[in-house]
Every structure is written in structure tokens, then in C-alpha cells.
Amino acid sequence: MAVPADPPDNTPDGFGGGDDEFRSDEYRAVVFDEDFVRAARLQEFSAQERMGEHARAVRSRSIWSGSGPSRPRTGTPGRAARQGMALVLLIAVAFAAAVYMGLRNPATPLPERHTEPLSSTVVPLAPAGPVPGGRPADLFAHSPAADYRIGAAGITLPAARRTHHFTEGQVVTALSVAKDYLVQSSLDPDVLAGAATRPVRVLLDPDQLAQFDRSMTSPSGDGRHAATGWLVRFDQNTAVVADPRVRVNGALVYDEVSPDVLEVVTDHTFVYAVRPATGAPAPADGASLFTVRRELRLRFDREDLTARRAELAAAYVMAGPQDCSAEPAAGFRPATAGTGPTTVGPAASDPYASGRPRRTAGLCGVLAPDAGATPPVSPAP
């Protein structure tokens, strides 16, 4: 029986039988079935198709062209594959364009803003007459601080409204941080006694910490490193606080000084009852009043507002009664009860006066005679 590969009528004359049998066996392995032949048929494009798409004159009728029976993916890619390739190519082009534009037009970095160091002025106010003494409650009642609130209650916040570049919430944050700074730096008992600085330090911008630390460890009256420019501190060898109920009065105002900086100015008078720092307990009527007027200028950028901290840009401080010959940079040295007039400054200053404090021309002032406490009237014998 003849097989498809055998020629008709067996082997023609003139051909050897051995090699022909080998070739016949070799070609028997190559079988072109009907499905393969049908799938491989070529179809010619029409004239319109050739003109419109500039396609080849013939096209494959394999499965990848959308017709014919299923065959392994060995032919030309179909529509879905072409769409996928086009999408990949589009993404690659977009990515390359983005990289190119980034190299041609790099983003302009925001200007780096440097925190300015604190500039402080501390002016001691000498007593104009003998320093009145008595019980703290009586001294407060007969002083201009009689109607002042006690402690943090005397630091009230103004109504907050948004500015051009800062929201109302950011303004509220700046005001609350400013109040926290006043409370920690003017009312904390450990800070007043010189036993702690951390409550104040944690509220400062990190760029000012080196200056603050130097002011605490090596204070000087150079306008940059006075400890009393940052906070209220008493020289524990001179006087200590006799009554923790400090009287406070003042105001805060805020303003947008630039699109990136919000400024809060605080102006407060703090009145402390102090007594001499002696080994033995001081008599109950041996207290006197010491007044500190602080005008602080605090600034906040957006990073400060997020971290709830402040930049103390400037501080103007008047404090008395104290001897002008004693350097107040490390701590205040109050003139205690019964101390007479000492060094006389160039002009009288009233730390209780409303409005912005009157700045003295020199490094010492005189506590206005009516600014101190009036001695309480002793009952008739």
C-alpha cells in the first residue's frame, strides 16, 4: 500500500532504492494537516485598504488577525496585542517627557529662612525712696496691681481672625504658644528660682537653642546672652518669691509681617511678692513687691506653628526696684523691704503705665515714686 509521500508507480527508473527510502522516511515526519493549511492561507488587501492604511498587499489569516481556527501564537500580533503595545509606548513617551521637562525646568527650591538671634535689653529700675515692706496681700491691695488677675488668668488672648496668608487656626496656635511661653518663663516657680530652664527651652525654635543654653550657663549683658532676656529669674542669694500668686496684666497683638511669618507681640506687667533670701525664716511682714515689665516679640513660620514653638526675636525688660550697679543678666536682685534709694538713673519709668513701655536712654532707670506699693496704714494703738 502506498503512503502519501510515495510517488505513484513506485520508484522511477534510474534512481537507486536505498537513498530514496531514506528520503521517503525523512519527509513522512512532516505532515501538513488541513487545519494548518487553512490557517496559513493568505488574503490580499483590497485597493482601498492598501491606499488608506499603507498596509502590506497580503495579510495573514491566522488567529492573531481575528479569523481562522485557534493556533499557537506564532503569527503577527492581533488587535489586543497591538493596543497593549501602543499603551506601553504611550506610557514610555510620557515618562520620558516628564524626565526631560524636569531636567530642563527643575523646581525652584524655596528660599531658606534663617532664625535671627534674640536681641534683648534689660533695664534695672532703682528705687526712688525706701522700699515699702509688709504682708504680700496688703502690699498687693495698696499697689497699682490691686485689680490685676492672678497668674495665667492675667494673660488673655485677643479675638483671632485669619490673615492674608494664615488661617484662623494658625493664628490661634501662635497666640496660644505665646501665652504658654509667658506662663513658663514668667510664672513657673522652678524657673523663677533658677532651678529649671526646660519648660522655656522646649518652646523655642531649635536654631535658638545654642544661644539660649549659653545665656543660661554664661549670662552676660551683651544684648544677646542675658538670661533675664529669655525668662524671669531671681538671684537666690538676694531674694526669693514670698507668694506664688503673681499679679499679671497686659495684652497680646498679632500681625502678618510676611507671607511666611506671623508675629505676636506681648506686653505684660508681672508683680511678685519677694522676701530676703536668709537662712532663718523671714517675718511675715518682711515682704516687698518687685515689678517686671516684659515686651516680647515672637515670630512663627509654618514649621514653628506645626511644632508649636516660637522664635523669640526681641525682648525689652524693665525690672525694679533693684540696684543699678548690680548686673541683672544672670538674675534679678530685688531691693528688699527697707532698702533706701541707690543709684539714680536718667529718668523715672513706670512699669505699670499702659501702652508701650517708655524706653530709657541708658542702662538704668528710676522706678517712678507712685509705681511702688504704698505702705499699708498701721492701725492706731
pLDDT single digits (tens) 122-178: 999 999 889 999 999 999 999 999 999 999 999 999 999 999 999 999 999 999 999
pLDDT at 379: 35
- Angle subtended at Cα 250 by Cα 245 and Cα 253, rounded to the nearest 5 degrees: 140
pLDDT at 11: 52
Contacts of 300 (CB under 8 A, 6+ apart): 173, 174, 177, 261, 262, 263, 264, 310, 311
CA distance 279 to 260: 52
Task: Write the DSSP string, 281-317.
Answer: PPPTT-BEEEEEEEEEEEEE-HHHHHHT-BEEEEEEE
Mean pLDDT calculated for residue range 271-295: 85
pLDDT digits (tens, 9 = 90+) for 27-67: 555 565 666 666 655 566 666 666 655 555 555 554 444 44
**Band (348; pLDDT cuts 50, 70, 90):** low
CA distance 140 to 127: 17
CA distance 47 to 45: 7
| Least confidently predicted of 91-100, 101-110, 168-177, 266-275 | 101-110
**Higher-scoring residue by pLDDT: 204, 23:** 204
pLDDT at 255: 97
**Band (340; pLDDT cuts 50, 70, 90):** confident
CA distance 82 to 60: 15
Judged against a pLDDT cut of 60, whether residue 355 lies above it is answered with: yes
pLDDT at 342: 65
pLDDT at 119: 96
CA distance 59 to 65: 8
Judged against a pLDDT cut of 70, whether residue 268 lies above it is answered with: yes
Burial of 123 (0-12, 13-18, 19+ CB in 10 A): buried
**Band (339; pLDDT cuts 50, 70, 90):** confident
CA distance 160 to 164: 13
| Least confidently predicted of 28-32, 68-72, 118-122, 351-355 | 68-72
Residue percentage of the chain with pLDDT more than 90: 53
**Higher-scoring residue by pLDDT: 368, 94:** 94
pLDDT at 352: 76
Query: Is the distance from CB of 304 to CB of 311 less than 8 angstroms?
Result: yes
- Sign of CA pseudo-dihedral 77, 79, 82, 87: negative
| 303, 307, 311, 317 alpha-carbon torsion, rounded to 10° | 160
Answer left, alpha or beta for residue 334, where phi above 0 means left and psi between -120 and 50 means alpha. beta
**Integer CA distances (angstroms), 38 to 61, 68, 73, in order:** 8, 7, 16
Could you list the beta-strand ranges (E) of 195-287.
239-258, 261-276
**Band (253; pLDDT cuts 50, 70, 90):** very high
Mean pLDDT calculated for residue range 314-325: 93
pLDDT at 24: 54
pTM of the predicted model over 0.85: no
